[in-house]
A and B are shown apart, each in its own frame.
Chain A
Amino acid sequence: MVFSACQKLDLEPKGILGQPELFGNEFGVKKYFTGIYNNLPIEDFNYYGNNNPSGGNAFRPDNYWEAGKNSQGNCSGEFFNTWQGVNNGGFGYWPYDRIRDVNIFIQDFPTYKSKFSDAAYNALMGEAYFLRAFFYFGMAKRYGGVPIVKTVQNPLSPKDSLEVPRNTEYDTWKFIYTDLKFAIDNMPATSEYGRANKFVAAALMSRAMVYAGSIAKYTTYMNYGSEKAYTAGLAGIDPGKANEFFQYAVNAGKLIETGSYSLYTKNYPDKALNFANLFLDASSTENIFVKDFDQTAPHNTRLRHTYDALMAPQPDMSSFVGAESYPPFDFMELYEMPAYTNPDGTPVRFTNRSDIKIDMEPRMKGTMYFDGDLLRGKAFSIQKGIYRNYTGTAADAQRGSNGAPINSGGNRILGGRGWTTVINGVTLNITGAHGHFDDQGGENNGWGAAFVRKYVNPAPTPAEVSVYTSGTAWIVFRLGEVYLNTAEALYELGQRNEAFDYIEKLRVRAGCKVPRPAIDAATTNIGTINKANYPYQIEKSLQFIRDERERELYGENHWWWDLRRWRVADQVLNQFRPRVLSCYYVASEGKYIYLDETNRINRTWSANKACFYEPIPGGEIQKNSKLLPNNPLY
């Protein structure tokens, strides 16, 4: 017998992909990048706008069906709901682990340069810079200045060198700029579905730079005074730098216009249907970057969602718990709406409830469902109650108060699901089939006159619409947003007419009666929603551009960030009490009226001045005291 002891045991394991396999060919890099893409800070259907109550990462929450109920829109009053409020403090986002993944690639990929063509090598390197910029954008908009780590730290090096202090907010946004500039210069114009190319990088540039510009311009009005993070430039940027960033945003927007993108118009002439389908058509020419979802994806990948089931009433249009997010009247009023009150103050009489849609802006109809609209084979049916008689003005209803004489003594009849009443021998339904039920809370109970239509997919049957069954893709960047970024940046730079060229394009597509309002350079410090009291004056046409942004991007997780970067969140959400537009049947006339009411349970949303910056996570400060001073007001 022969024993041989010379077998070499220290072998490369065959089951693990090492750097040569991952960085040495395009498929390997794709695999490496997939994990990074999956963790990009994209605020999609599964994003918990609120602190993730089950702990962990708001971008990849547990029990993620609830994300729709915890959405950023619910937290910021963009959607009326009965249980979410403003999250002023954030959730400790700190993705340096993912940034390290990117830095390892940037450091080591040059070793494998010989295995790629120059074009392929540059494209992949550019993509890495785009990914890194995206993580820094996710932090900069939350914290202002953060430590810029662009090399791979060695955990065994001296502790002192591992404790990286914060960079200034200006440097942080400028770092995002240089990373994206590199990405734009090195990536090709096209890419496979779901991956970045130079225009995707430019779209992130467009958004990030308009954020940076407004932060630079308006933080000075926050009276942070002697707050150490402010005086050190960690929170806030010299207003003199604002135009630099606005110009970067304009440049990025113009670059995107050289690409093959165009506003979605496939369903013309029906502009309402067209606007709704923009969010459902995977082949939309407006999409610049899309995060794909798929209802056949394995459960724990978080690549399917529950949006459809949490936006539509049950059981007629879904088979889960029903909706919990409703458009407040304050947001409906931003659009061109028909009159619901006559010049003499009396409510307009409508023959049908759905007549409220006559003369309504098509984009609004594409954004919200109203009474009579069909979804999955059923028509929406929304009514709050019955008046036996309605004599007098809309104001007599005192915004829905039970104490108003016209609402007392049985003249106004409210009820629950399926309740009826008999008036003059005729049996009448008190409410609509989908709300509003006076005896119930927010779940599956329409508040106001509308349900959310944006992103709702009408294709599946009600039985198919349930928990984790939605696969609609999330549009991360679309040309419509880029136009709004460009318009805002141009206006801030004083190029007012050019700014309105972009607004006009969007308003034509929206079907507005006035596609291009005249420029009004008069100033005001009063905003539109909640008549907010801004700490600075702005021209009325700039306020119009801001409002246009919300009309176009309603429900797309922009509103909260916009309020923050404009430094008005604490004023717009100053005891913001969403109003509801309620429909009543007037029995004596056989007609319907719509009344502007206070939400029945007096819910308010309030942001405080600390919300403009989130605190640096306490656990990170424990590890690295050089992260101090903490942000203002913490």
Chain B
Amino acid sequence: MTMLMFSSCYKKDNWSEPDARVYGNIIDSYTKKPLLTSQNDWSIRIWERSWKESTPINQNIPVKQDGSYNNNKLFAGSYDMLPVGGAFWPFVDTAKGVTYTKGGAQQDFTVTPYLQVVDLTATVTGTNLTLTCRIKAPKRTGLPNLVEVKPFISLTSFVGESNYINIAEYNDKRIQINKSWVDENGDVETSKLYTIGPLPVKSGYTYNVRVGANVNDTYKKYNYSEIKQVIVP
């Protein structure tokens, strides 16, 4: 094996590596707990305002499945921050001038989800899995049309739109609604019971399952139920 070495211009970059940190949680305004979401489904947009040389172009910090985010490789400085693209009512209250330092800055955001997926049950009969759930829409005025209620099934602990078993046997069982909330459920907060299935599963496997529901907003991301673990005997 030949090793090639190139050496030229041994001048060190005079800019130290970025080591400032920002972290925090996205809080669901209804539950006051971290928002139920899917890994890397959407992100926090940040703009560095302390950099004056050019117009800043936004960077994105992805949000994790547990509703938290963290980045410790940023340049220290002052930033504006805005959560964008998730399944919640448009968030307009940009956090201005958040100072990122090596020690880290915590910045939490409270968002209002479009929907909540509640009362999830998962029943295994033989090698068939049946899911039931209800959807809640606490804020219905101006709510975009409901799109669908969809099962997400995974063999790992990550389950959601960014990681699920994408086969027709599961996807064809999603319930396509494409109607307004009122047309589907009437002007009530909690929907009827949705039953999804039967979904074929394999004996001896452990599945992680959850249900997502979305509305026809710009991003069509899902609001999720909690994750349930299903062991198929």
B-contacting residues of A (Cβ < 8 Å)? 223, 225-226, 399, 401, 403, 526, 533, 535, 570, 574-575, 577, 598, 602, 604, 608-609, 618, 621-622, 625, 628, 633
How would residues 50 to 61 of chain B score, 1 for a CB under 8 Å from any chain A CB and 0 otherwise?
Answer: 000011010000
Q: Given A223-B218, A609-B218, A609-B219, does the pair A403, B169 have CB atoms closer than 8 Å?
A: yes
List the interface of chain B (C-beta within 8 A of A).
54-55, 57, 90, 92, 144-145, 147, 166-169, 171-172, 178, 200, 216-220
Chain B residues with Cβ under 8 A from A575's Cβ? 171
Residues of chain A within 8 A of B172, CB atoms compared: 399, 598
Asked if B145 and A223 sit within 8 Å, CB to CB, the answer is no
| Chain A binding surface, main DSSP class | loop
Please report the C-alpha to C-alpha distance between residue A625 and residue B54 in the assembled complex, in whole angstroms. Answer: 8
Residue contact A401 to B169, C-beta cutoff 8 Å: yes
Do the beta carbons of A570 and B169 come within 8 Å of each other? no
Interface contact A403-B57, CB-CB below 8 Å:
no
* Chain B residues in 8 Å Cβ range of A401: 168-169
Known: A223-B218, A570-B220, A633-B218. A628 touches B168 (CB 8 A): no
Q: How far is the CB of A323 from chain B (nearest CB, A)?
A: 24
A577 touching B171 in the complex, CB below 8 Å, given contacts A403-B200, A533-B216: yes
Closest-CB distance, A409 to chain B (whole angstroms): 16
A533 and B147 in contact, given A621-B55, A622-B54 (Cβ under 8 angstroms): yes
Kindly list chain A residues whose C-beta atoms are within 8 Å of the C-beta of B144.
223
Report whether B171 and A625 are in contact in the complex, using a CB–CB cutoff of 8 Å. Answer: no
Contacts of B90 in A (CB 8 A): 225
> Contacts of A533 on B, CB cut-off 8 Å?
145, 147, 178, 216
Contact of B55 with A628 in the complex, beta carbons under 8 Å: yes
Q: Which residue of A lies closest to B127 (CB)?
A: A403
Give CA–CA (A225, B142) in the complex, Å.
Answer: 13
A-B contact count (CB 8 A): 43
Q: Closest B residue to A398 by CB, please name it.
A: B169
Q: How far is the CB of A111 from chain B (nearest CB, A)?
A: 41
> Judging by beta carbons under 8 Å apart, are A602 and B218 in contact?
no
* Cα-based distance from A399 to B167 in the complex (angstroms): 12
Whole-angstrom CA separation of A152 from B220 in the bound complex: 45
| Pairs of residues from A and B, 6 with the lowest C-beta to C-beta distance, nearest first | A533-B178, A598-B168, A625-B55, A609-B218, A602-B168, A403-B200
Cβ of B78 to closest chain A Cβ, rounded Å: 20
In Å, the complex CA distance between A609 and B219 comes to: 7
Measured in the bound complex, the distance between the Cα atoms of B170 and A401 in whole Å is 11
Q: How far is the CA of A618 from the CA of B56 in the complex (A)?
A: 11
- Least distance between A328 CB and chain B CB atoms (Å): 14
- Known contacts A403-B169, A533-B147, A598-B172; decide if A618 and B216 are in contact (CB<8 Å): no
In the assembled complex, the Cα of A574 lies from the Cα of B219 at a distance in Å of 12
Contacts of B169 in A (CB 8 A): 401, 403
Would you give the shortest CB distance from A630 to chain B, in whole angstroms?
9
Give the CA-CA distance A401 to B173 in the complex, in Å: 13
Residues from chain B with Cβ under 8 Å of A574 in the complex: 147, 220
Closest Cβ of chain A: how far from B86's Cβ, in Å? 14
Contact A618 to B166, CB < 8 A, known contacts A403-B200, A533-B178, A533-B216: no
Q: How far is the CA of A608 from the CA of B178 in the complex (A)?
A: 17
Distance from A597 Cβ to chain B, minimum over Cβ atoms (Å): 9
A223: B residues at CB distance < 8 A? 144, 217-218
Within the complex, the shortest CB–CB distance from B169 to chain A, in Å, comes to 6
Answer whether A621 and B57 are a contact pair too, CB < 8 Å, given A399-B172, A401-B169, A577-B171: yes
B57 in contact with A602 (CB, 8 Å): no
Residues of chain A within 8 A of B167, CB atoms compared:
602
Residues of B within 8 A of A628 (CB): 55
- The minimal Cβ–Cβ distance linking A85 to chain B, given in whole angstroms, is 13
**In the complex, what residues of A have CB within 8 A of residue B145's CB?**
533
> For A535, what are the chain B residues with a Cβ–Cβ distance below 8 Å?
216
Q: Name which residue of chain B comes closest to A597, CB basis.
A: B168
Is the pair A399, B216 in contact by a Cβ cutoff of 8 Å?
no
Q: A401-B169, A403-B200, A633-B218 are in contact. List 6 more A-B contacts (CB 8 A).
A: A223-B218, A399-B172, A401-B168, A574-B147, A608-B220, A621-B57
Q: How far is the CB of A49 from chain B (nearest CB, A)?
A: 23
Report A499 CB to chain B, min CB distance, Å.
28
Please name all residues of chain A whose beta carbon is closer than 8 Å to the beta carbon of B55 when the two chains form the complex.
621, 625, 628
Cα distance, A45 to B211, chains bound together (Å): 43
Give the distance in Å from the alpha carbon of A575 to the alpha carbon of B176 in the complex: 12
Q: Roughly how many angstroms separate A238 CA and B39 CA in the complex, as a whole number?
A: 39
CA distance A560 to B101 in the complex (A): 46
Shortest distance in angstroms between B3's beta carbon and chain A's nearest beta carbon?
Answer: 29
| 7 A-B pairs (CB sep. < 8 Å) | A225-B90, A526-B178, A535-B216, A570-B220, A574-B147, A608-B219, A609-B220
CB proximity of A9 to chain B, nearest CB, Å: 40
